[in-house]
Amino acid sequence: MRKLGVLIGINLRALLSALRLGSSKKSKATGIGALLLLGVLAVYIAGVYSFTFALQLSSIGLLEYLIPMMAIMGCLMSVVMTVQAASGFIFSGRDTDLMLSLPVSAFSVMLSRITALYIENLAFIGLFMLTSGVAGAINGLGGLGYYLSLVVGTLMLTFLTTMLTMVISFVAAFITSRFPHHSVFSTILYFAFFLLVMIGAFQVSNVGNLLMTNQTGFDRLLNGALLPFGLLKNGLEGNLLSLVLLAIVSVVPFLLLVWIFSSRYKQVLSALASRIVRNNYRLGALSARSQFSALFTREIKRYFGSSIYLFNTGFGAVLLIAGAIYGAFMHSKAQTYIQLMGGMEVVIPIAAIVLGFIVATIDTTCISISMEGKTFWIIKEAPVQPRAYFGAKVLLNLLVSWPATVLSCLILGIAYRAAPLTVAAMTAALLSLGLLIALAGLCINLFFPKMDAPNDTMVVKQSASAFIGVFGGWVSLGLACVGYIPAGKVMSFELYALICAVVFLIGSAALWLWLKKGGIRRLSSI
């Protein structure tokens, strides 16, 4: 038991170390900042949805459904946020060989890793459920059973969430390891999974209507496929036996899964790690490229060689195009909403904000130096001009964000018959925002590099630079939005968008100038 405790401690530290919770003040500050950001995100999302639903549901007398609904949402979000991390942490941790060579059972190793993952999930779901519980209490829910069920429900549902996370990440890792281009295949799988989750998330807003029109169907779901959430609902209504049942249906399958995985852990890891080295290569004619071209090609190959890197920074580009196509197809249906909102004059700025919000998520540069990891020595010892090195990284970011930005603006502009000047101004603002984000990301990564991460997942999902990069982009966009409130009264959207484009370009130029001097100094100090 003591050994298990030590293993859990080590694995938790491995998870937390990705957030730079080191010994120095700077490390602690960035790590705590990243954790706080996660916490704020959980509280914000839970707060917005739970208070909105509470109002909707109490008006139709169905408030008792609030907590089960929020629990479903919280668990799904937690799966989304940890599924890729789980894949890297459980199935490809660099310390796996060391762990398995220790005089402890594979069961203990697996259990300790899953427990660490459980604690990470618990932190998110706990905050999510706490906020939802407050929303329920303010709107009239309460009593000992209510609070007890909240606590027990949070603890038990986290077991199920962790289990689901593990199964999805394992299936993805196992299937993709069987394919030659496994990174691309893995990315496609994750894209499909996330699209399903997003479709589900869009349906959440209709849940009030769904409950009103088909309460029996929803109850059937809670007593069937979503039984744990149904048991939680019964527990909230004071049925303590349901809570016991909830504990059983959560913990027993969890332990069973841990046992199944641990009994096959070594075989699973061997299967995932196996690579075939063929001995049939014949040296033929070789091509030569310029230094910049070689650096850029390397960036592209690294990008497509890491599914988590590709997925997390490329999802925005897919979303831009998919969203624009969906918007174009929904053109006739959307007309009613457009009129209700006040016509195209109001809708176009909102569309620009939404597109800008997505463009800000396409930030490859904020982690691209960290992605060099232990191979960084190759660049450091090579006679590479820092400008070419930075340029290749920025160009990759633009290659991902710019075509998708132009396409989405054109598709939406044509479908909704926007004036050419409007489309051009919006496109210019978004392209310059993309450039600013690419350059700012590089600067951020120079200040917060994470070169010692055991795998790509920790760099992409949990490094301070990744958080700051994306949220920094949103802050820039937010400032532009705030500026439009007074400016929109005295100038057209087109003029404001062009002014934003100029401001973003000036910001980009300033960042590039800094990169050429301060950036080179930072690079040599890493």
Partner 1 sequence: MLTISHFSKTYSGGKRAVDDLSLTVEAGEMMGFIGHNGAGKTTTLRCVAGILDFTEGEITIDGHSIRTEPVAAKSVTAFLPDNPDLYDFLKGIDYLSFIADIYGIDRVTRKERIGRYGDAFGLTTALGSAIGGYSHGMKQKLALISAFMRAPKLLVLDEPFVGLDPEAAYAVKGFLRELCDKGGAVLFSTHVLEVAEKLCDRIAIIRQGRLIECGNTEAVVGNSNLESVFLELERGSAAEKPEEAEKHA
Q: Which residues bind partner 1 (CB under 8 A)?
A: 183, 275-283, 285-291, 293-295, 297-298, 301-302, 305-306, 373-375, 377-378, 380-385, 524-525
CB of 26 to partner 1, least distance (A): 11
CB of 49 to partner 1, least distance (A): 39
What distance separates the 2 farthest-apart alpha carbons in the chain? 78
- Report how far apart, in Å, the C-alpha atoms of 285 and of each of 277, 292, 342 are: 22, 21, 63
In the bound state with partner 1, the residue whose beta carbon lies nearer, of 371 and 409, is 371
CB of 279 to partner 1, least distance (A): 4
How far is it, in rounded angstroms, from Cα 434 to Cα 398? Answer: 7
How far is it, in rounded angstroms, from Cα 482 to Cα 380? Answer: 42
CB atoms within 10 A of CB 137: 15
Closest CA to 115 of 89, 92, 94, 97: 89
CB of 378 to partner 1, least distance (A): 7
- Report how far apart, in Å, the C-alpha atoms of 479 and of each of 217, 472, 473, 524 are: 45, 11, 10, 33
In the bound state with partner 1, the residue whose beta carbon lies nearer, of 279 and 332, is 279
CB of 284 to partner 1, least distance (A): 8
CB of 290 to partner 1, least distance (A): 7
In the bound state with partner 1, the residue whose beta carbon lies nearer, of 205 and 375, is 375
CB of 65 to partner 1, least distance (A): 48
Query: Which long-range contacts link 143-147 to residues 24+ away (Cβ below 8 Å)?
Result: 143/238, 145/235, 145/236, 145/237, 145/238, 145/239, 145/240, 146/236
Chain CA centroid to CA 276, Å? 32
In the bound state with partner 1, the residue whose beta carbon lies nearer, of 170 and 389, is 389
Which helix (H) or strand (E) element contains residue 335? helix 331-341
How far is it, in rounded angstroms, from Cα 107 to Cα 446? Answer: 40
In the bound state with partner 1, the residue whose beta carbon lies nearer, of 184 and 221, is 184
In the bound state with partner 1, the residue whose beta carbon lies nearer, of 382 and 410, is 382
In the bound state with partner 1, the residue whose beta carbon lies nearer, of 80 and 188, is 188
The dihedral sign for the CA sequence 461, 466, 467, 469 = negative
Task: Specify whether the CB–CB gap between 470 and 363 falls below 8 A.
Answer: yes
CB of 380 to partner 1, least distance (A): 4
Token representation of residue 3: 């050994």
Instruction: Check residue 320 and report its DSSP letter.
Output: H
DSSP states of 43-107: HHHHHHHHHHHHHHHHHTT-GGGHHHHHHHHHHHHHHHHHHHHHHHHHHS-TTHHHHHHSSS-HH
Task: Specify whether the CB–CB gap between 117 and 159 falls below 8 A.
Answer: no
In the bound state with partner 1, the residue whose beta carbon lies nearer, of 276 and 340, is 276
In the bound state with partner 1, the residue whose beta carbon lies nearer, of 285 and 490, is 285
Q: Is 470 exposed, middle or buried (0-12, 13-18, 19+ CB in 10 A)?
A: buried
CB of 178 to partner 1, least distance (A): 15
In the bound state with partner 1, the residue whose beta carbon lies nearer, of 299 and 494, is 299
In the bound state with partner 1, the residue whose beta carbon lies nearer, of 322 and 384, is 384
In the bound state with partner 1, the residue whose beta carbon lies nearer, of 142 and 518, is 518
DSSP states of 133-187: HHHHHHTT--SHHHHHHHHHHHHHHHHHHHHHHHHHHHHHHHHHHTSTTHHHHHH
CB of 342 to partner 1, least distance (A): 50
CB of 104 to partner 1, least distance (A): 26
CB of 520 to partner 1, least distance (A): 10
Closest CA to 369 of 224, 472, 507, 515: 515
In the bound state with partner 1, the residue whose beta carbon lies nearer, of 177 and 492, is 177
How far is it, in rounded angstroms, from Cα 482 to Cα 354? Answer: 14
CB of 386 to partner 1, least distance (A): 9
What letters, b where the CB count within 10 A reaches 16 and e where it falls short, cover 392-421? bbbbbbbbbbbebbeebbebbbebbebeee
